[in-house]
Amino acid sequence: MDSLEELELDVRGMTCDSCAHHVTQALQGVEGIVEVDVPGWQSSKARVVVEGDVPAEAIAAAVRDAGYAATLKSRRPVDKAASRNGHGGDKDYDLLVIGAGSGGFAAAIRGVELGQRVALVNDGTLGGTCVNVGCVPSKALIRAAEAWHRAGQQVFAGVTTRQESLDWDAVRSQKDSLVTGLRQSKYADVLAAYPDITFIPGRARFQADGSVLVGDKIIRARKYMITTGARPRMLPIPGAAEAGVLNSTTLMDLPQLPKSLIVLGGRAVALELGQAMARFGVQVVILQRSPRILPEHEEEISRALRESLQEEGVGVVTGVQVERIEREGEERVVSVRVNGSPQVYRAEQVLMALGRQPNTDGMGLAEVGVELNESGAIVVDGQMRTSHPDIYASGDCTTNPEFVYVAAAGGGIAAENALNGAGRVLDLSAMPAVIFTDPAVATVGLTEAQAKAQGYEVQTSLLPMSYVPRALAARDTRGLIKLVVDASTDQLLGAHILAPEAGEMIQTAVMALRFGATAQDLRDTLFPYLTNVEGLKLAALGFEKDVAMLSCCAG
């Protein structure tokens, strides 16, 4: 058997993550190299393990051909069994990813792109939450509800005269076919396109020795990645289990729509699905424990959204403490205290939309020393490291915000950090967040209260959408824009929008925030007339002028 040697190289010319990737690929192409580690472009280093006699000149030539320069720094014999990434060692894989949702897919793909041996374990439906029971089905239903609502408004306004009754079966099956199609094209087909990813169906659990058990198979990997997501949190409200309550998944799959629905909760999922159901003709009341819906958002946005929902006939009650849920015939009876006073609400169904529970239980995480917070979420740092040096995590099972793009971005970064020591950080400072109500809520950065709490001297501008020409032309002036800037530097700290399709407006503010733009930069930028996004410029002008007195195109 040939001996193994470890070579350390100085690499010049790497300026970004792609460079590190190119150098890795170049080194992997050299015959005799069995292991490559480029710990990030910033390191200007590479480590390779060679089997047999591989001349340093051949290695340098491969790196040179890729456009970089490598010089040998050290060369030493290594014990084959101790080879770190298990090529020929005692590990089955370099990276074992647990959970095949968006975060898991991103991690597994990045792992094989880095030339590593990757396995992906999944228990449940391929694709996880977003495509199966989250973003995709909910947005399909929300869009259908919006179309149905608009058609109803036209009847009301005499624009059309006839409206069929809602065909819920057709709505549901269109939603299901979108889910099936996207699961196939974005997950099953993608997995097939990466034959180097070993897919292992089954439930994974860590063993005390650090290996992972799936079924009766013990798997050992150099690094592990947990992307097991979350499930609806079902609080143990007395009587709830016996009465039978819905969660977001079961609501979207009901064989028929209820006549009435009580929604417990006042954040994204509760508001999105509550409004959609109301627009389908269900009588909806939202019961929220906090003094306002969306308690973490700007108060002006919570208030305006509440008014908007109520104008559509959605009941919104805040300050609600739920005490008991019972079933009486076809009805569910919810006994509550509203700001201390007893009250009873009745409806055919109850939706519990009180947040998500991380899927971290029963995984043996305590045994291997992975720290969880009080809600059971895996505590990760910006590099997606857990408290265990060989275990990384991303997505809804962690302390990070629950958005699919955060899960996926974190998955890719974690794979690079785990496998290459790249030291990349997931930057959430300019993270957009959208709630798909109508009007929608879209935000980025700090709220006024958060900015003040962080010690900023804050200036804000509040622009009702009735100042935005596009909104006037569309005869839909619901909503507002609030900008938060650092008064001492004029730098944008946050943008908060309530407007129809606000999700389509927010990315301009995301870019502005990400690249350190000031309110003056927004004022100096050309915005197209008539668009709702022009409201950002008008809001920025609002720091200096009375927007009502502006001429056309914010002149």
Ligand X SMILES: Cc1cc2nc3c(=O)[nH]c(=O)nc-3n(C[C@H](O)[C@H](O)[C@H](O)COP(=O)(O)OP(=O)(O)OC[C@H]3O[C@@H](n4cnc5c(N)ncnc54)[C@H](O)[C@@H]3O)c2cc1C
Q: How far apart are CA 118 and CA 36, in angstroms?
A: 15
Residue 372 lies near ligand X (rule: CB under 6 A): no
Q: Which is nearer to ligand X, 300 or 396 (CB)?
A: 396
Q: How far apart are CA 111 and CA 93, in angstroms?
A: 11
Report the candidate in 316, 294, 309 with the shortest Cα–Cα distance to residue 447: 294
Judged by CB under 6 A, the residue of 46, 63, 98, 370 near ligand X is 98
Find the part of the chain contacting ligand X (CB under 6 A) among 143-151, 308-316, 403-411, 444-452.
403-411
Q: Which is nearer to ligand X, 358 or 542 (CB)?
A: 358
Find the part of the chain contacting ligand X (CB under 6 A) among 100-108, 289-297, 371-379, 476-484.
100-108
Judged by CB under 6 A, the residue of 219, 246, 269, 468 near ligand X is 269
Contact 428, 381 (CB under 8 A): no
Residues that are catalytic: 14, 16, 19, 68, 130, 135, 552-553
Residue 415 lies near ligand X (rule: CB under 6 A): no
Find the part of the chain contacting ligand X (CB under 6 A) among 78-86, 224-232, 305-313, 316-324.
224-232
Q: How far apart are CA 87 and CA 488, in angstroms?
A: 56
Q: How far apart are CA 226 and CA 120, in angstroms?
A: 10
Q: Tokens 């009301």 sit at which residue? A: 156
Contact 494, 451 (CB under 8 A): yes
Q: How far apart are CA 439 and CA 43, in angstroms?
A: 48
Return the number of other C-beta atoms located less than 10 Å from residue 88's C-beta: 15
Note the Cα 1 to chain centre separation in Å: 48
Q: Which is nearer to ligand X, 402 or 534 (CB)?
A: 402
Residue 412 lies near ligand X (rule: CB under 6 A): no
Residue 203 lies near ligand X (rule: CB under 6 A): yes
Judged by CB under 6 A, the residue of 7, 100, 264, 277 near ligand X is 100
Amino acid at 429: S
Q: Which segments within 110-233 are labelled E, that is strand?
A: 118-122, 197-201, 204-206, 212-214, 217-219, 221-226, 230-232
Residue 124 lies near ligand X (rule: CB under 6 A): yes
How far separated are the first and last CA of the chain, in Å rounded?
79
Residue 204 lies near ligand X (rule: CB under 6 A): yes
Query: Phi/psi of residue 60, each to 5°?
Result: -60, -40
Q: State the minimum distance, in angstroms, from the CB of residue 317 to ligand X.
A: 22
Find the part of the chain contacting ligand X (CB under 6 A) among 63-71, 85-93, 123-131, 282-290.
123-131
Residue 363 lies near ligand X (rule: CB under 6 A): yes
CA distance to 204, 456, 482, 546, per residue, from 460 (Å): 49, 12, 7, 14
Report the candidate in 408, 402, 365 with the shortest Cα–Cα distance to residue 387: 365
Residue 485 lies near ligand X (rule: CB under 6 A): no
Find the part of the chain contacting ligand X (CB under 6 A) among 20-28, 190-198, 221-229, 259-267.
221-229
Judged by CB under 6 A, the residue of 39, 128, 258, 358 near ligand X is 128
Judged by CB under 6 A, the residue of 116, 248, 420, 437 near ligand X is 248
Residue 118 lies near ligand X (rule: CB under 6 A): no
Using CB under 6 A as the criterion, which residues of the chain lie in contact with ligand X when the complex forms? 98-104, 121-124, 128-130, 134-135, 138-139, 203-204, 227-229, 248, 269, 359, 363, 395-396, 402-405, 407, 436
